Structure 1
Amino acid sequence: MHQLSSLDAQFLDAETSTTSTHVGVLSVLGPTAPGGGLTVQDLRTLAEGRLHLVGPLRWRLQEVPLGLDRPYWVDSEFLDLGYHIREVALTGPGTDEQLAEQISVLSARPLNRNRPLWECYLVNGLTGGRQAIYTKVHPAVIDGLTAAQALAVLMDTTPRPRTVPHRLSDEQYQAAGALGMLGNSAWHLALLPARLMWSSLRLAPHLPELARTLTVPGADLLGTLARRLTPRAWRWSADEPTAEALTPPGTPFTGPATAHRRFAFTSLPLGEVEAVRTAMGFTVDDVVTALCTTVLRRWLIDHDALPDTAMAAAMPIAGRTDAQFAAAGHRLSLLPIALPINESDPARRLQKVHTSLTAAPQRFRAAPATLVRDFGAALPRALRGLLSRTPLRTLTMPTPPVNLIISHAAGPARPLYAAGIEVTGNFPVSAVSDVAGGITIAAMSYGRHLDIGIIACRNLVPDVWDVTGQLHQALSELTACTRNVRYLRPRRPPESR
């Protein structure tokens, strides 16, 4: 038997009637000859011969009696591909907007916890004879950054599907006995006081910063009391990181999210993104984050809601290695970054984004939200589940209180094929929550383009296609800045030339 990690359990506990934490990928397939498209049975046959390469997709949850401890993963004796792989069809004309609306509906549905936590949908009826495959999976199984790797396992790099030897994974988890689970729970409960003491000591110096991030009534008073009651002697030594925690300002998409979603997607030429990176001496992460900052700035200006301070965002990073890919759990972390939406000059905005991303690791180590997650992990699972349904759910959420999440991952550089049909686009479909903001922007490189998916709470950001459309204009703006790049870079002293 194998028990879920604390972070995986927190992803489960974070789900509510309005928040699902699963992530996914929308793969658009190129046009085929009439009658030559992919059928749902083709997709099931393909998956049946390859799912053994991705062991976590066979696992299901086994709860501990009375919810005393974290659940366990066990292998499913029978995997019902008729349930996990289904098909839907768009009504005419089958535009990208209709496809996005269908993905919005499918994404809003929670995964069934009595089955392995993933689903796959074949979408028919797109314009030009195209099809699409939407795959969603819970981050407790596979995090968003390695979901693309799992997708690549199920696809091919040539039009001819490869033959995969059928061999079961060495890691198979049998159902756990009730006595064994209760014995482990008793041991964990015995260690609980020590874990809570250690987490509390680490968290105490950051109580003033934490209070400022709460949106419940009386948060300001709580912050004032925390500053007065927290002894300076509790501060760590001078070699501890001193980066200030980010406080998310109020925005129209920072509010209670509903269960309804709105999704939009687009592609940018990766060559143009890399040209900006090369000309201005930054990274692709810098450029992508600056593009997101620009479109958010314009959206906030259009809605007369531009804050006076930088927005707080979080960027996922994963520490899983290839050897760890098939193992349970993941090492997902979220770097807190500042988005300079109040900077009007695009070149300076990019420079400030670079500075923020450079300082992100230090800010991550100093962020109180990171320690809050550690504190939440030390709590008994039953108590975490109770807190997750209260205004203090930030104590158990796996993400810090931010305005939104922005992610960028490197995807396959070569074209992929599904049963011989080329994949023309791979668009990430992320998650939305109350704590992590009502909008999430995810980008993934594929071939020679950058595929971007934006998902939002339908009530908070109903015009998500406007945000997507402005990405192209934002890239053109940065491209224009490269013409004056010699004036943007700091000049070297004469003696150093």
Structure 2
Amino acid sequence: MPQLTALDAQFLHFETATNIANIAGLAILEGDLNRADLQALLEQRLPYVPALRRKLAPVPLGLDHPYWEQEDDLDLDYHVREIGLPPPGDDHQLAEQVSRLHARRLDRSHPLWEIYLIHGLSGGRMGLYTKIHHAAVDGIGGADVLAALLDMGPTPAPPPAEEPEHDAPPPGRAEMLARGLARLAGNPAQALRFAARAMPHLDEIPVVSWVPGSGVVAGLARRVAGSGRAPDLPALPAPRTPFSGPISAHRRFAFVSLPLDEVKRVRKGFGVTVNDVVMAVCAGALRRWLAAHGGVPQQPLVAGVPFSLRAVGEDGPGNQVAFMTAPLAVHVDDPVERLHQVREAMQRIKDRFALAPARWLREFSESMPAALMGLASRSAFGLVGQTAPPINVAVSNVPGPQFPLYVCGARLLTHYPVSVITDVSGGVNITAFSYDGSLDIGVVTDRKMVPDAWELAGDLREALDDLLIAEENLPQ
């Protein structure tokens, strides 16, 4: 009888005609994949993938967060679809089709996922686009769901020997109402407890720390409690860019693969992490794009960077992710200095994150009455998006397996993330996924703000080249 957490429910509440909470991936496969074979594989595997066999069971009057209800009779003809590209079936046509699919909301009367087989891709390849609602999984959980459908060899593995677990049915309407009313009565006390615990840490919580006076209040509370101070972070006012503000209902998607050994060469040469290199490459690409479209701001962009809250080996349900903000040094011309500034910023963010774990975000969400969350989320998104968005761009880097994988015997060549843009996080999302020696990057943009996402994808390649040249010129 699983129930959505408040954080999971937020991804349902903020959806509008333009803010769509789909997270997805575009797999490029070698050869062609038969729809019937894929459905047969899914029929075997889905009983062991809870996120794909649950649908929403709303609480009457919206008094509480919805429950998940197990769907025992999945309609795979509905969930697994196929389309074809007209000749020549190039990557740009594929990306255009994915752009359209990604902008469509999922039907909440069904389990919240869809798979599209995309035939007709040139070079003897095919596309496999999989999308799932963010309320069901986060980025790491989504990768785990995909992994459950893949094999490490051309021959599909047999299903597990153990019987799959079954969810208990959700409570009846009367019990849902009773639980919702009890939760509503407890919200004020929970909010007070949260406020008391959070007071000494106001200057450590993203966004809240920018509110005037938060540092003074937090300092006084810490002196009373006798605790120390978190690492300082600079104030991060997000500069206006061509991709700031309310987004439209239309998307653009592009992708690029960068050799992982080149990324690691830069990492080793400059003594940084792979994630530092990825962030610096994104900063360099955005600088190039901005220089060609209105000018580079004189201050850093503000990047929204997700951090996983999952412990190593943990595969719990729902969203276990925090969204931190970091300066992205697009204003720095020199690629090496830009890399070092990115490294310093990411290290400070990690230090602060370690001292101020994002359980506060979950606790704050849980303290809000469920009946008000939908209106509050949509109102906040609309207001912030139209006035002063706190984030310019979302950037994410998800580590993946470094060996080949297969779907129904077809080898997975590349896997490009297709992520979320919103009014608050800006009209650009750049997400990287490392797989089998490649850094596969998906770029999602708002069609009106950044009409040509391929230009930005090409800038990523150029930004890595700048760092490779700098690494070659290092003194021996």
What TM-score results when the alignment is normalised by the length of structure 1?
0.87
Distance of aligned partners of 1:63 and 1:273 in 2 relative to their CA distance in 1, 3 Å threshold: same
Deviation (angstroms), 1:81:
0.6
Q: Deviations over 1:117-175 (max 9, x none)?
A: 11100000111221110001112212112322221211111112222247543251313
Deviation (angstroms), 1:382:
1.9
Q: Deviations over 1:8-62 (max 9, x none)?
A: 11111121111111211100011x3xxxx31211211111111122111101111
Alignment of 1:384-403 (within 5 A): 384-391=373-380, 401-403=390-392
Distance of aligned partners of 1:260 and 1:272 in 2 relative to their CA distance in 1, 3 Å threshold: same
Q: Which of 76, 89, 94 does residue 94 from structure 1 map onto? A: 89
Distance of aligned partners of 1:166 and 1:348 in 2 relative to their CA distance in 1, 3 Å threshold: same
**2:344 match:** 355
Look up the equivalent residue of 2:459 and give its one-letter code. Answer: Q
| Bigger shift: residues 175-184 or 266-275 | 175-184
**1:114 match:** 109
Question: Contact between 1:55 and 1:169, CA under 8 Å: does it hold in 2?
Answer: no
Separation in 2, partners of 1:294, 1:384: 38
- 1:178 counterpart = 2:173: yes
**2:184 match:** 189
**2:252 match:** 262
Question: Contact between 2:205 and 2:356, CA under 8 Å: does it hold in 1?
Answer: no
Separation in 2, partners of 1:101, 1:451: 18
**2:33 match:** 38
**2:466 match:** 477
Question: Contact between 2:431 and 2:441, CA under 8 Å: does it hold in 1?
Answer: yes
Question: Contact between 2:6 and 2:362, CA under 8 Å: does it hold in 1?
Answer: no
- 1:82 counterpart = 2:63: no
Q: Find the residue that maps to 1:176 and give its secondary structure.
A: coil
Separation in 2, partners of 1:62, 1:331: 21
Look up the equivalent residue of 2:420 and give its one-letter code. Answer: A
Look up the equivalent residue of 2:391 and give its one-letter code. Answer: V
Distance of aligned partners of 1:248 and 1:358 in 2 relative to their CA distance in 1, 3 Å threshold: same
Separation in 1, partners of 2:177, 2:83: 43
Separation in 2, partners of 1:256, 1:367: 30
| Gaps in structure 2 of 5+ consecutive residues | none
**1:492 match:** none
Q: Deviations over 1:227-264 (max 9, x none)?
A: 59986875544613243453211111111101100000
| Bigger shift: residues 45-54 or 231-240 | 231-240
Question: Contact between 2:246 and 2:423, CA under 8 Å: does it hold in 1?
Answer: yes
Distance of aligned partners of 1:52 and 1:208 in 2 relative to their CA distance in 1, 3 Å threshold: closer
Question: Contact between 1:209 and 1:245, CA under 8 Å: does it hold in 2?
Answer: no
Deviation (angstroms), 1:385:
0.9
Distance of aligned partners of 1:209 and 1:159 in 2 relative to their CA distance in 1, 3 Å threshold: closer
**1:27 match:** 27
Distance of aligned partners of 1:228 and 1:385 in 2 relative to their CA distance in 1, 3 Å threshold: closer
Distance of aligned partners of 1:140 and 1:229 in 2 relative to their CA distance in 1, 3 Å threshold: closer
**1:339 match:** 328
**1:7 match:** 7
Separation in 1, partners of 2:362, 2:17: 21
**1:444 match:** 433
Q: Which of 435, 457, 461 does residue 468 from structure 1 map onto? A: 457
Look up the equivalent residue of 1:438 and give its one-letter code. Answer: G
Look up the equivalent residue of 2:19 and give its one-letter code. Answer: T
**CA RMSD in angstroms, aligned pairs only:** 2.9
Matched pairs, number: 467
- 1:47 counterpart = 2:37: no
- 1:141 counterpart = 2:131: no
Deviation (angstroms), 1:353:
0.6
**2:302 match:** 312
Deviation (angstroms), 1:102:
0.3
- 1:455 counterpart = 2:450: no
**2:18 match:** 18
Question: Contact between 1:157 and 1:416, CA under 8 Å: does it hold in 2?
Answer: yes
| Gaps in structure 1 of 5+ consecutive residues | 214-222, 488-497
Q: Deviations over 1:69-112 (max 9, x none)?
A: 11111101311111111001111111100000000000000111
- 1:124 counterpart = 2:119: yes
Separation in 2, partners of 1:321, 1:212: 26
Deviation (angstroms), 1:361:
2.6
